[in-house]
Every structure is written in C-alpha cells, then in structure tokens.
Amino acid sequence: MLSAINSVDYTIFHAVNQYASHVKPLDSLMVFFADYAQYVLIVLLGLFLLINKNGSRVVAFQALCACATGVIINKVISLFAYRDRPFISHHVNQLIDHAANSSFPSDHATSALVITFTIWLHFKRSGRMWVVMGVLIAFSRVWVGVHYPFDVLTGAVLGCVLALFIHYVIFNTKLIRAITNLSIFRKSAYDEQSQYY
C-alpha cells in the first residue's frame, strides 16, 4: 500500500518537476514562492500587529499561535515518519539548496496555509488572495524539487484544519477570549500614539 502511494506520489512529482529549469521567468517565480514568499507573510503579520485595523492584531496573534502549533506537530510527525527528500532518492531538477532532512510533512505548506487560511477566516474578500499565495508556496516546493506532492498536500491540509480548530475552538475558550479582550488587542496604532500627547 505504502509503496503504491510512493509510486503515485513520485509520478506526480516528476510530472511537475520535469518542467523546472526550462523556462527561466517561471523558475524565478517558483523560486520566489518556494524560498522568499514566506517573508512576505511575516511582514504582513508584523503590519497586522503594528497597525491593528479591524482587529488585525488578534488575527496576527491567532495566526502565529496556529503556525507555531503546526510546526511542532510537523516535527513530531517527522520523528515517526521520516522520508527522504526527492533529491536524495531521485535525479531531480533542484532549483534551491536545502538540507537533507525529513521531507514529510512540508513545514512551508503548513505554515503558509495556516497563516493565509486564518487571514481568510477573518477577512473573506482580501483573504482569498492570501490563500492563493499559500497554495502557490506549497506548489512551488514541488516545482523546485524539495518536496513530494503528498508532503505539501499533508502540510496544507494540516494547516487548514489547524486554522479552523484554533479559530472556532481555541479562540472561543474563556481564557483566550479574556486575553484578546485586553486593551493591547483593542487599541489601534493611532490610539496608542495619541495617549502620549
């Protein structure tokens, strides 16, 4: 069963990765999403924390909690389900450098989807754009040759499920509600600045 899944997984991986290194502009775009787009999300959450418009500070706090939880879960999974990366087991078109650590599940996919899905849960209209970005981050990890499709699919699903669980369960508990009702989460950057004048 496992060998059959791995066989299908590699077939899909090869179907995607075989086109890497053929179109420079597309490769550059995929490298950006695979290696650098995560920093765009970090800057975005930083702005959410700083500006605090429409409750964005709570959104950033929720996304960071969900992301940290996802990374911890991934580390635990990788201890019991170690999987070599594609460039270790196969000849691939590898576009970025990466340590030869466990491929499963994808931390990038989990982090990208848990953050962008959390944003979408709060801001439906603008959130769609960020979810698309999260999906592209996940897909690009296959394109550049550092993950199998099943790695990123598992990471993406875990990210979305975690975002939902944190949003609807954890952030509806009395403790978290009490924390997010503190003034630090309710004041905007303008309010905080004005108190000094």
What is the pLDDT at residue 195? 43
Weakest-pLDDT range from 97-106, 136-145, 183-192: 183-192
| Residues contacting residue 175 through CB under 8 Å, at least 6 positions apart | none
- Structure-block tokens of residue 67: 């992301």
User: What residue spans of 35-182 are helical by DSSP H?
Assistant: 37-51, 56-80, 86-89, 107-122, 124-143, 149-168, 174-180
How does pLDDT run across 110-163, given as a tens digit for each residue? 999 999 999 999 998 889 999 999 999 999 999 999 999 999 999 999 999 999
Please, which pLDDT band fits residue 196 given cuts at 50, 70 and 90?
very low
How does pLDDT run across 80-96, given as a tens digit for each residue? 988 888 988 888 999 99
